[in-house]
Amino acid sequence: MSSITTTKGGCPNDNYPTSKRYTVISKLSTRNHYKLKELPEWQREFNSGKVITGFLKETNSFKKCLWSTMYWHNSSINISLNGIAATVYFMLLFFFTDCYLIPSFPSTTMSDYIVLNLYLLTATQNFMVGTIFYIMKSHSKQQAFLWYKLNNIGLINHIASSVVTLLYYHYFDYVFYFKFFTIVTLLLITLFTCSIISDSFNKMTRIRKNFLLLAYIILLTLMPSLFAILRFGLAKVLERISLNLIILEIFIYAFGLTIRTSQLPERFFNSFDFLGNSENVYQLSIIVCSFIHFKILMNSYCLMHSGVNPPTLVTFQD
């Protein structure tokens, strides 16, 4: 039987022939796969009960967790999706507003700059923390729960920034309404964050957790839009934001959350352990919704700076 030369952390030795590295990775991948029933009870809480195999067992090693990104398992897709999204938003954060928006729209104000970069910053941290969570959830119970909470907080912050940016384009010429809804949003964020980091949240069933999250998102997203429609009329709201895209964004997220809650399609089929399971669909829906929201912001931004809706809210200009 051929042996595989590895380091103490389970990684191929640096002196191992390069031409055989992929064979080593494949063998290590197969060796490290476990079935759900073979995992400790705490690890089962972070995985779909309908996915059968492809899991990584508790490692208690940062090195082994990092090395797991080099071979295929049932968190690989989630790591890749979050990692790609984090990289894209990181590049946008550093280059998009400074190298494209400001030269293209000289009328850009400091408030525009802050609002857009706030969204890009929270998107970057959300998907970056999500990437780390899926890497670290096989480390230990302490690390898994820590990054699970940070991952949820990152998502809540990203949703909150989405709402604040919508408020900006809803009420850029109505400072009172902007401040009022921003304060309400921050209060709701604080309450929801406190509930997430509490032990009682971890004890909730998957259905209750997802329902609470969906209710929070719908409340925060639709509340300012519905008030604006009632206060100013649908026609004026449509001049400021792409309401159809907001509805599409909520629908896609609700669809992804429903798939995650019902654990489709792995509930009925046994071939989705590694690719296409409910957690993959949910992560993809979050990313798609995030970029749809960015499109909404860009549409409103272009309307504002094309002279249709000139900005009057807190410009920070001399």
Q: Are residues 145 and 250 in the same domain?
A: yes
Range of the domain at 225: 76-305
Question: What is the pLDDT, as a whole number, of residue 174?
Answer: 86
Q: Is 13 part of any domain?
A: no
Number of domains observed in the structure of the chain: 2
Q: What mean pLDDT comes out for the span 222-235?
A: 87
pLDDT in the model for residue 162: 92
Residues 168 and 217 in one domain: yes
DSSP element (H, E) containing 34:
strand 33-34
- Confidence at 288, pLDDT banded by 50, 70, 90: very high
> Of 30, 46, 70, which marks where a domain is finished?
70
pLDDT for 299 equals: 93
Cβ neighbours around 77 below 10 Å, total: 19
193-220 pLDDT tens trace: 888 888 777 777 777 777 777 787 778 8
Confidence of residue 15 (pLDDT cuts 50, 70, 90): low
From residue 101, how far is each of 105, 109, 262 by CA, in Å? 6, 11, 42
Mean pLDDT score of the chain, rounded to an integer?
84
Instruction: Note the pLDDT tens digit of each residue in 42-83.
Output: 998 878 778 889 999 999 999 999 999 999 999 999 999 999
| Mean predicted confidence (pLDDT) in 162-191 | 89
CATH number at residue 210: 1.20.1070
Residue with the larger pLDDT of the pair 11 and 281: 281
pLDDT above 90 covers a percentage of the chain that reads 46
The last residue of a domain, from among 10, 37, 70: 70
Provide the pLDDT for residue 19: 47
Q: What are the residue ranges of helices labelled H in 54-140?
A: 62-67, 76-96, 102-104, 110-136
Q: What's the distance, Cα to Cα, between the start and end of the chain in Å?
A: 76
Do the Cβ atoms of 210 and 204 come closer than 8 Å? no
Rounded Cα–Cα distance for residues 147 and 155 (Å) = 12
> Do 262 and 212 meet the contact criterion of CB atoms below 8 Å apart?
no
* Average pLDDT for 277-282: 94
Considering the entire predicted model, what is its pTM?
A: 0.85
Helix (H) or strand (E) holding 56: strand 55-56
* 3-state SS class at 253: helix
30, pLDDT greater than 70 = no
Lowest mean pLDDT among 43-52, 149-158, 272-281: 43-52
Distance (Å, rounded) from C-alpha 223 to C-alpha 318?
A: 34
- The residue among 49 and 152 whose pLDDT is bigger is 152
Average pLDDT over residues 245-270: 89
Q: Are residues 197 and 295 in the same domain?
A: yes
For residue 50, the SS3 value is: coil
Look at 48-52, 126-130, 243-247 and tell me which has the smallest mean pLDDT.
Answer: 48-52
279 versus 195: the higher-pLDDT residue is: 279
Residue 4 counted as domain residue: no
Residue 18: is its pLDDT beyond 90?
Answer: no
Residue type, 37: K
Given this model, what pLDDT does residue 4 score? 42
In a domain, 190, yes or no: yes
Q: 164 with 297, same domain?
A: yes
Same-domain check for residues 170 and 194: yes
Would you say 70 and 86 are in contact if contact means Cβ atoms under 8 Å apart? Answer: no
Choice between 173 and 101, residue whose per-residue pLDDT is larger: 101
190 and 279 share one domain? yes
User: Is 97 domain-assigned?
Assistant: yes
Residue % of the chain over a pLDDT of 70: 86
Q: What is the dihedral of CA 288, 293, 297, 298, to 10 degrees?
A: 20
